[in-house]
Amino acid sequence: MTDLTAADLKADILRHLTFTLGKDAPHASLYDWRMALSFAIRDRIVDPWFASTRKTWESGHKRVYYLSMEFLIGRLLEDATINLGLRDKAEQVMAELGQDFRAIVEDEPDAALGNGGLGRLAACFMESMATVGCPAYGYGIRYEHGLFRQGFDQGRQIEMPEDWLTQRHPWEFERPEAAYTIAFKGHVEKRDGRDVWVPGETVLAEAFDTPVVGWEGRWANTLRLWGAKPTRLFDLDRFNRGDYAAAAEPETLARTLSRVLYPDDTTYQGKELRLKQEYFLTSAALQDILRRFKAGGHALRDLPDHVAIQMNDTHPAIAGPELIRLLVDENGMEFAEAMEIARACLGYTNHTLLPEALERWATFTFGNVLPRHMQIIEKIDAWHRETYHPPHWVGIVKHHEVRMGELAFIMAHKVNGVSALHSDLVKKNLFPELEGLHPRIVNETNGVTPRRWLKMCNRPLSGLITDTIGAGWEADLDRLKELEPHVKKKTFLKAFDGAKRANKVALAGWIADHCGVTVSPDALFDVQVKRIHEYKRQLLNILETIARYHAIKADPQKDWVPRVKIFGGKAAPGYVVAKEIIHLINDVATVVNSDPEVGDRLKVVYPPNYNVSLAERLIPAADLSEQISTAGKEASGTGNMKFMMNGAPTIGTLDGANVEILQEVGAENFFLFGLTAEQVIERRKNPDHARDAILASQPLQDVLQMIAEGAFSPGEPGRYHQLVHRVWHHDYFLVAADFDAYLAAQAEVDIAYADRARWLKMAALNTARSGFFSSDRTIRGYMADIWGLESAL
Ligand code: 26V
């Protein structure tokens, strides 16, 4: 940790304000102060960063390369100050300079270079790899526009461009010298018996490095994001002919590659630009990896001793064929040896079982964009057939499609799922034949970084934890177990309650300011935040909300436990059904919140534009964590872990990592309901499962009738006819079948919440037993089981 004094820090900030920003303090804006502070903090990361790099070079330590199309990093300033042990000093110094630290922190744009879970996991992993001293590079794309900004127009989602890069990004270092040519298209020729790719297009990938510092600044790694640039800046011939717009075409074309993140993480579409982005990232990364490896003076056959490459889902699965191409075409290695080396280096993480999200490319598109890789893939497929004799329906290229899951599986020495249940389903349902031929599936249950998701976002609670068990739990999260003996003490529970309440009061203020809704901090804050998807069943939650509303109206005098239902999340722009659910939630909010008879008994709020920063605000203030996906569909979930750490019990199904949360926290501290993954499959065999469930449930009938009659769409009763029809007749995610069980579980929640002592104990035990879900534990698992390396600390 840096021993920088407050006076030093202040001098650094003022120096940057003057010499980097060119501003005189009396004229500096919030932006200027943020930049000055960020640069002063960044200066402090550089030392551990260089030291870590130097140490890795000198010891010849193996390195991990994490390839991901998404890194959902969020804001970096406060996180960096915390890991450097400078947070409180920074706050104090800024106050001395007349600046509000919180305002400065919140002025930073939220870097949303990812869709959801997969991208946020990559960001948590970067921080944990730095914390545990795992030498690593993250490789991704420096999207000019991250995930769209969400707004609501009369309850409907609208999408606006996100522009985090319109301001200067103080954390990155541009590396014009680290640039690689990325080729596309063209054809393959035979020359002297060798296959030679003659590309039709090229672009440049230029590196931008962001240092990622771990807890106490003991280690720092690099997040290297690639920006696309034209290999030829300008078409001078066209310019001279007076065609000025066309002259700039190469530039426009190239930049398109790193222009925008694909916002649809639910349905796979075989778009050429997406394939090009995937290859752009992967080829740049692999060229960089081989360059660094060669600079270390090693022979290529020793690559697996020095290099572990992790593919975050199949998006970078072209890494297999690309590595073979580089080894064979550019370094003269034989195919068989190249295969062996590539497989020893590569690992593949699967993050979804949803068939519609599994990547497959038409061989026509693939062969057109990457003709040489298409040849190599066919060769790999043939090699696999001849070596393992799989059944005829198993393979990489089938029905004129390249299946990226199979490609990734075959090219990796280890394949992993992201929770115990999910890994099991990957084995049994996704790759049963391949796993039978050559077993390689392991489990690495996800985790989240407790520095951001507890220490930073929940100061009242993390302060209490430190006061109770002492410092150091941040990097040794199992120590939260030491809270358990205190959970019996009234004084501790009271302090725990106080911390939660402080967060709820703060959130209530924010909701009043930003959503125009008044909520009582005494109400139970019931939170469901995640991408909107049918399988995540936000619909189940809003139907229960309507049932509650209906019941309150029927019996307003009953002793209701007041609730605030909080929703957050974006729908993919083309996902019509998800957008309809958003609209319904907003419509229900309008009706419920303006019903004077309901008052504080029920409120519904849906702040727009859920992102990492909003998660940091909502999760610490949550009383109840909604994790209600159809069993068998949520690979793991990571939001569920964040809620648990912050002392919010889960209402949830036996899905993803909920299973392990339940196991850790104990059934008495978890509101379990719903069909299991096996029962889901059984139930679907009855074609009338939804109808049967609806007819057996009066509350559900009432709810569906209210919606159908236009109770929430007064001017337009037909607005939700399709939605209601789908529940009756096409309820693939079993909302109806699980409805009554969910209602009952919610009633249990009310009873438990009304018993203050019982609730506080449950909440505190959730925090105390969340140690397993630190991403430090996850990373140590990958290091031991997949990457084969030890900490360099
Ligand atoms: C798929 C696609 C399809 C092609 C176009 C762009 C795109 C972008 C992302 C995805 C994959 C989404 C998979 C995903 O995010 N899975 C989530 O991973 C989390 C971390 O392992 C896990 O906690 C969630 O349960 C899982 O849904």
Please list the rounded mean pLDDT of every run of 10 residues in the chain (793 residues). Answer: 86 98 98 98 97 97 98 98 98 98 98 97 98 98 98 98 94 97 97 96 97 98 97 76 81 90 89 97 98 97 98 98 98 98 98 94 98 98 98 98 98 98 98 98 99 98 98 98 98 98 98 98 98 98 99 98 98 98 98 98 98 98 99 98 99 98 98 98 98 98 98 97 98 98 98 98 98 99 98 97
How far is it, in rounded angstroms, from Cα 644 to Cα 773?
9
Q: What is the H or E stretch that residue 640 is in?
A: helix 639-645
Q: 380 CA distance to ligand 1 centroid (A)?
A: 26
Instruction: Give pLDDT, residue 234.
Output: 67
**From ligand 1's centre to the CA of 352, what distance in Å?**
6
Residue 160 sits at φ, ψ, to 5 deg, of -125, 150
Q: Please indicate whether residue 117, judged by its CB atom, sits closer than 6 Å to ligand 1.
A: yes
Which residue out of 530, 533, 579, 780 is catalytically annotated? 530
* Atom 10 of ligand 1: nearest residue by CA position: 265
541: nearest Cα among 616, 429, 652 = 652
Is residue 489 annotated as a catalytic residue, yes or no?
no
Q: How far is the CA of 128 from the centre of ligand 1 (A)?
A: 20
**Helix or strand (DSSP H, E) at 602:** strand 602-605
Q: How many angstroms is it from 358 CA to the middle of ligand 1?
A: 10
- For ligand 1, the distance from its centroid to the CA atom of residue 317, given in whole angstroms, is 14
Enclosing H/E stretch for 229:
strand 220-230
Q: Give the atom of ligand 1 at the shortest distance from the alpha carbon of 267.
A: 3
Per-residue confidence (pLDDT) for residue 72, from 0 to 100: 98
- Please tell me if the CB atom of residue 121 comes closer than 6 angstroms to any atom of ligand 1: yes
Residue 145 CA to ligand 1 center (angstroms) comes to 19
Distance in Å, CA 508 to ligand 1 centroid:
31
The residue whose CA is least distant from atom 2 of ligand 1 is 265
pLDDT in tens, 714-741: 999 999 999 999 999 999 999 999 999 9
The Cα-based distances of 562 to 65, 590, 603, 672, 747 in angstroms read 49, 18, 8, 21, 12
Catalytic residue at 536?
yes
Q: Are 126 and 136 in contact (CB under 8 A)?
A: yes
Are the C-beta atoms of residues 619 and 648 closer than 8 Å to each other?
yes
Does ligand 1 have an atom closer than 6 angstroms to the CB of 635?
yes
Residue type, 252: T
- Between the CA of 341 and the centroid of ligand 1 the distance, in Å, is 28
Whether the CB of 118 sits within 6 Å of ligand 1: yes
Nearest C-alpha to atom 12 of ligand 1 is from which residue? Answer: 265
Q: Is the CB of 764 under 6 A from ligand 1?
A: no
Q: Whose CA is nearest to atom 16 of ligand 1?
A: 351
Question: Is 313 touching ligand 1 by the criterion CB < 6 Å?
Answer: yes
Identify whether the C-beta of residue 380 lies closer than 8 Å to the C-beta of residue 397.
no
Cβ of 634 less than 6 Å from ligand 1: yes
Ligand 1 centroid to Cα of residue 754, in Å, is: 37
Is 531 among the residues known to form the active site? yes
Q: What whole-number distance in Å separates Cα of residue 231 and Cα of residue 280?
A: 13
443 and 425 Cβ atoms separated by less than 8 Å: no
* Ligand 1 atom at minimum distance from 313 CA: 11
Asked if residue 102 lies in contact with residue 33, where contact means CB atoms within 8 angstroms, the answer is no
Distance in Å, CA 116 to ligand 1 centroid:
7
Identify whether the C-beta of residue 100 lies closer than 8 Å to the C-beta of residue 94. Answer: yes
Full-prediction pTM beyond 0.85?
A: yes
The residues with which 563 forms a beta bridge, in sequence order, are: 524, 602
> Does 185 participate in catalysis according to the annotation?
no
Residue 586 CB partners (closer than 8 Å, separation 6+): 152, 155, 156, 606
Rounded to 5 degrees, φ, ψ at 538 are -55, -25
The residue whose CA has the least distance to atom 18 of ligand 1 is 118
Query: Does the CA dihedral 266-269-270-271 come out positive or negative?
Result: negative
The encoded tokens of residue 134 equal 């795992």
Ligand 1 binding pocket includes 536 (Cβ within 6 Å): no
Ligand 1 pocket member 773 (CB < 6 A) = no
For ligand 1, say whether the CB of 360 is within 6 Å of any of its atoms: no
Q: Report the alpha-carbon distance of residue 370 to residue 287 in Å, rounded.
A: 16
Q: Which of 224, 531, 601, 689 is catalytic?
A: 531
Active site residue 642: yes
* CA-proximal residue: ligand 1, atom 24 (nearest): 637
pLDDT at position 457 is 98
Q: Ligand 1 in contact with 357 (CB < 6 A)?
A: yes
Task: From 66, 72, 121, 351, give the residue whose CB has the most ligand 1 atoms within 8 Å, as the site to mutate.
Answer: 351
- Taking the C-alpha atoms of residue 123 and residue 212, their distance in angstroms, rounded to an integer, is 10
Spatial contact of 480 and 767, defined as CB atoms under 8 Å apart: yes
Residues 56, 220: Cα–Cα separation, whole Å: 11
644 lines ligand 1 (CB under 6 A): no
> Ligand 1 centre and the CA of 265: distance in Å?
6
The answer to whether the CB of 629 is under 6 A from ligand 1 is no
Could you read off the pLDDT of 559-585 as tens digits, one per residue? 999 999 999 999 999 999 999 999 999
pLDDT at 236: 76
Candidates 314, 449, 638, 650; catalytic one: 638
State how far the Cα of 70 lies from the Cα of 602, in Å rounded to an integer: 37
CA angle 158, 163, 168 (to 5 degrees): 165
Burial track 216-241 (b if 16+ CB lie within 10 A, e otherwise): bbbbbbbbbbbbbbbeeeebeebeee
Question: CA 51 to CA 214: how far, in whole Å?
Answer: 13
Helices (H), 153-271: 236-240, 244-247, 249-256
Catalytic residue among 642, 719, 726, 761: 642
3-class DSSP state of 46: helix
The predicted structure's pLDDT at residue 491: 98
Say if ligand 1 is within 6 A of residue 446 CB. yes
Any ligand 1 atom below 6 A from CB of 116 = yes
Edge to edge, the sheet with strand 671-672 lists 602-605, 563-568, 524-529, 624-627, 650-652, 671-672
Contact between 203 and 231 (Cβ < 8 Å): yes
> Rounded CA gap, 642 and 121, in Å?
12
CA of residue 405 to ligand 1 center, whole Å: 13
Question: Which one-letter DSSP state was computed for residue 211?
Answer: E
CA of 755: how far to CAs of 86, 525, 526, 744, 760, in Å? 40, 16, 17, 17, 9
Residue whose tokens read 């203020």:
509
Cα 679–Cα 353–Cα 422 angle in degrees, nearest 5:
65
DSSP secondary structure, 116-140, as one string: SHHHHHHHHHHHHHHHHT--EEEEE
Q: Which of 125, 143, 265 to mutate to test the pocket of ligand 1 (most atoms within 8 A of CB)?
A: 265
Rounded Cα gap, residues 692 and 24, in angstroms: 72
Asked if residue 637 has its Cβ within 6 Å of ligand 1, the reply is: yes
